[in-house]
Amino acid sequence: MKIKETLIKATKEAGKILLDNFGGDYKIESKDRESNLVTEVDKKSEEMIMKIIRSEFSDHYILTEESGDLFTDSEYKWIIDPIDGTINYAHSIPLCCVSIGVEHKGELIYGTVFNPMGNELFYAGKGEGAFLNDKKIKVSENDNFRKSLLVTGFPYNTSDNPRNPVGVFAEVVKQDIPVRRLGSAALDLCWVACGRFEGFWEFNLNAWDTAAGALMVTEAGGKLSDFEGGEYSVYNNEILASNGKIHHHLLEVIKKGKEHKH
């Protein structure tokens, strides 16, 4: 299908821009907070993605991190993060990626996440499964919560976030379970999908952070929810993703952590 071909082409071309400029000299600015960065490369990557999409589907709705909503009444919506993990990228840490999800009538149908520095291209199609460099992937089989490896991230407003992300993190760590923090939600989700992590949770994410990765997890046999165990939408701003087998354990710990105030 033309959408899939266009999606993969846009992802790879944007990935080349990330790779070509990685560790180079480019302009970096702050957005709403000093720690929330955007680089010249984010903008170049976004321009390339939009140009490729527009050349094939000029009427499609586009939602992108740097340009916002480019609204049309099309049934198709492209949800784009030109660099997920911009802070890593700006510090020459190769844990960052291009992430693009495609919705049809509000349902995710395709997703790609590409880390060109690690040469890892993740792809998922609704009903097709999830793949890493064309090899089918699936979530971890581990059902022992105590033997899990988890990953998380912190919102930019951690210091004044009413939902207590630090308390939740502390509660998980108190279980003596190892937790990593990679700095890219899209990669976190893909790494749950391919079995490297058993679970991931994070507050205050946007649709462009999670759209492609969320489809990756479900197509790889994993589970998604909000922090109450309810149905997940990419327009929620909290996400819990797991292999499904440790989901309720992690949910309980998160709920307990949210109740503890600073």
Domains of the chain and any CATH numbers: 2-137 (3.30.540.10), 145-259 (3.40.190.80)
State the pLDDT at residue 25.
86
Work out the burial of residue 77: count CB atoms within 10 Å of its CB; fewer than 13 is exposed, 13-18 middle, 19 or more buried.
buried
Q: Residue 128 carries which DSSP code?
A: T
State the pLDDT at residue 54.
96
Q: At what angle do helices 2-21 and 40-56 cross, to 10 degrees?
A: 160
Which residues on neighbouring strands pair with residue 223, listed in sequence order?
A: 242
**Nearest-angstrom CA–CA distance, 227 and 258:** 9
**Nearest-angstrom CA–CA distance, 167 and 258:** 6
Tens place of pLDDT per residue across the chain (262 aa):
699 999 999 999 999 999 999 998 888 888 766 667 788 999 999 999 999 999 999 999 999 988 888 888 899 999 999 999 999 999 999 999 999 999 999 999 999 999 999 999 999 999 999 999 999 999 999 999 999 999 999 876 555 655 567 878 888 888 899 999 999 999 999 999 999 999 999 988 999 999 999 999 999 999 999 999 999 999 988 999 999 999 999 999 998 887 765 4
State the pLDDT at residue 84.
96
State the pLDDT at residue 165.
74
State the pLDDT at residue 58.
94
What stretches of 65-195 show up as alpha helix (H) in DSSP? 86-90, 165-173, 185-193
Q: Tell me the pairing of strands 135-137 and 129-132.
A: antiparallel
State the pLDDT at residue 132.
98
**What is the token pair recorded at 226?**
């909000």
State the pLDDT at residue 1.
63
**Nearest-angstrom CA–CA distance, 234 and 237:** 8
Q: Where are the beta strands (DSSP E) in 189-260?
A: 199-203, 223-225, 238-242
Phi-psi category of residue 200: left, alpha or beta, with phi > 0 → left and psi -120 to 50 → alpha: beta
- In this structure, the number of other CB atoms found within 10 A of the CB of residue 133 comes to 10
- In this structure, the number of other CB atoms found within 10 A of the CB of residue 210 comes to 34
Q: Report the candidate in 119, 153, 143 with the shortest Cα–Cα distance to residue 133.
A: 119
State the pLDDT at residue 37.
78
Which residues on neighbouring strands pair with residue 99, listed in sequence order?
A: 81, 113
State the pLDDT at residue 156.
62
Instruction: List, in order, residues 6 or more apart from 169 with CB less than 8 Å away.
Output: 152, 154, 179, 257
Which residues on neighbouring strands pair with residue 224, listed in sequence order?
A: 241
